[in-house]
C-alpha cells in the first residue's frame, strides 16, 4: 500500500466487466454474502491496527477555512459554515501548487508515530479529483499548476512504509453537472468509473471510505457498485457511508441492499465510538478542537482487557460510565499508579498530577468475564 498497466486500457477493461443494470433500489448483488467468519478474517488487520491517519487536503486548504462546508451556497444541506464566495472557492484549484509536498516524509512520520494505515481524500464534496482522472480531467489535479498524481505519491509511499492504504471518496458532488439530474444515471456511471480508477491504478487498496449521499435510494446502483468493488479488490474494507443519507428518503432499500451498504465498520465522527463488541467502529476525530464531550480520551479492548487512553484529565477525578463486567485488576502502563474505583454508578479514576503522562496516560483494566 505497485504494479500498473496503461490507465486507459485498465479503465476500458473495468467498464467492460460492468454490464448495465436497472437503476433501482431493489437491485440484487451478485457477490455471495460473506459468512461471519470470512468477514472477521478480513477485519483482523484493521482490528489490530488501532491507529490510522486520515488526511483531508485539497485546493480548499489554500484559504485555511473549514474544509468541508465553507463554500457559500453549497447545495444539499449542512449550512452554517459558509464563508467563501463560490466564484473564489470553485477556482482555487488554479492556484494549487504544493511544491514542497513530500508523501514519503508524510508516511514516514505516520509510521514513526505508530500509525498502521492511511486514508486519503481522493475527492471531497467539491468534486475535485486529487488524481488525474480520465473522466473529468478539467477539474482534477491535471488542471492545476502542480499537475502531479498526488494519489499515486500517497499510495507509493504508503506501500513503501508498510502502511495499509485507504481512499476517501465523496459520493456527493457540488460541481458535477449530472449530479442528481434526472434518474442520476450519468452521474452513477461517472462515480463508478472513478472508483474503478482508484481501485485499479494504485496497487492494493485496503479501505474504501465513502461519505455523504443526497437524493433517494433509487438514484443509485449500490449492488452494481459493491459488485465492482469486491471484484477489483476482494479483501477491501468498506465503511458504513456508501448510502449515508442525511435526510429522509422517499423510498426504501431491500433488506439485502440495506445490509450490503452498511459495510464493515461504523464511523462516529468527532466523538469516541460507544463500547460495542458486535460491530467494529472507527472514530474520526480531528487534531484540532474536538466537538463532543469525549475529550478526555478513549479506549480500546481485546478479550478480557480494556485500555484507557487519558489525554485530558479533569482537575481531580475522571468519571466514566458503568461497566457490566467486574474489574479484576488495573495497572498503569505509562508510569505511576492510578486508583480505579468501580461502582454501580460507573468508574472513578484518579492519579497524582505528577504521575500523569503529558500526552497519553494508559491504564489497563482486566475484567472478569463469565
d(CA 109, CA 3): 25
CA dihedral 302, 303, 307, 308 (to 10 degrees): 100
Angle between helices 103-112 and 150-160 (to 10 degrees): 40
- Given this model, what pLDDT does residue 324 score? 85
Dist CA 197 CA 201 (whole Å)? 6
Q: Are 197 and 133 in contact (CB under 8 A)?
A: yes
> What pLDDT is stored for residue 69 in this prediction?
85
pLDDT tens digit sequence for 338-357: 999 999 999 999 999 999 99
Per-residue model confidence (pLDDT) at position 31:
67
Phi and psi at residue 62, in whole multiples of 5°? -60, -40
For residue 295, pLDDT beyond 70: yes
* Mean pLDDT, range 335-339, rounded to an integer: 94
Strand order in the sheet with 305-310: 297-302, 305-310, 361-368, 326-332
Mean pLDDT of 154-161: 98
Domains of the chain, earliest start first: 7-263 (3.20.20.80), 297-368 (no CATH)
Q: pLDDT grade, residue 54 (50/70/90)?
A: very high
Say how far apart CA 239 and CA 260 lie, in whole Å. 11
**Of the listed ranges 1-5, 67-71, 158-162, 203-207, the one predicted with least confidence:** 1-5
Lowest mean pLDDT among 76-85, 239-248, 281-290: 281-290
All residues at 6 or more sequence positions from 33 whose CB lies less than 8 Å from its CB, including other chains: none
In terms of pTM, does the model score above 0.85?
no
pLDDT reading at 284 higher than 80: yes
For a pLDDT cut of 70, what percent of the chain falls above it? 90
Amino acid at each position: 500500500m505497485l504494479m500498473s498497466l496503461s490507465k486507459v486500457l485498465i479503465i476500458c477493461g473495468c467498464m467492460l466487466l460492468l454490464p448495465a443494470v436497472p437503476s433501482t433500489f431493489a437491485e440484487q448483488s451478485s457477490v455471495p454474502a460473506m459468512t461471519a467468519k470470512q468477514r472477521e478474517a478480513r477485519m483482523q488487520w484493521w482490528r489490530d491496527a488501532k491507529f490510522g491517519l486520515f488526511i483531508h487536503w485539497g485546493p480548499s486548504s489554500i484559504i485555511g477555512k473549514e474544509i468541508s462546508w465553507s463554500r457559500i451556497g453549497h447545495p444539499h444541506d449542512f449550512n452554517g459554515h459558509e464563508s467563501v464566495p463560490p466564484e473564489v472557492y470553485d477556482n482555487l484549484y488554479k492556484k494549487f501548487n504544493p511544491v514542497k509536498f513530500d508523501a514519503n516524509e508524510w508516511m514516514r512520520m505516520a509510521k514513526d508515530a505508530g500509525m498502521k494505515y492511511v486514508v486519503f481524500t481522493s475527492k471531497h464534496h467539491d468534486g475535485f479529483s486529487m488524481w488525474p482522472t480520465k473522466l473529468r480531467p478539467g477539474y482534477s489535479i491535471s488542471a492545476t499548476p502542480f499537475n502531479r498524481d498526488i494519489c499515486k505519491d500517497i499510495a507509493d509511499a504508503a506501500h513503501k512504509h508498510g502502511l495499509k492504504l485507504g481512499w476517501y471518496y465523496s459520493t456527493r458532488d457540488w460541481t458535477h453537472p449530472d449530479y442528481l439530474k434526472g434518474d442520476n444515471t450519468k452521474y452513477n456511471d461517472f462515480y463508478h468509473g472513478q472508483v474503478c480508477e482508484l481501485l485499479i491504478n494504485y496497487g492494493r487498496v485496503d479501505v474504501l471510505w465513502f461519505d455523504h449521499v443526497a437524493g433517494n435510494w433509487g438514484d443509485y446502483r449500490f449492488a452494481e457498485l459493491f459488485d465492482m468493488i469486491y471484484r477489483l479488490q476482494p479483501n477491501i474494507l468498506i465503511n458504513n457511508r456508501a448510502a449515508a443519507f442525511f435526510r429522509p428518503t422517499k423510498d426504501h432499500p431491500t433488506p439485502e441492499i440495506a445490509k450490503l451498504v452498511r459495510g464493515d465498520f461504523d464511523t462516529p465522527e468527532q466523538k469516541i465510538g460507544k463500547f460495542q463488541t458486535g460491530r467494529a467502529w472507527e472514530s474520526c476525530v480531528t487534531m484540532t478542537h474536538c466537538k463532543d464531550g469525549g475529550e478526555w480520551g478513549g479506549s480500546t479492548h481485546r478479550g478480557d482487557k480494556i485500555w484507557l487512553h487519558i489525554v485530558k484529565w479533569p482537575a481531580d477525578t475522571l468519571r466514566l460510565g458503568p461497566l457490566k463486567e467486574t474489574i479484576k485488576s488495573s495497572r498503569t502502563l505509562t508510569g505511576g499508579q492510578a486508583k480505579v474505583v468501580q461502582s454501580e454508578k460507573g468508574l472513578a479514576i484518579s492519579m497524582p498530577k505528577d504521575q500523569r503522562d503529558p500526552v497519553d496516560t494508559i491504564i489497563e483494566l482486566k475484567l472478569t468475564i463469565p
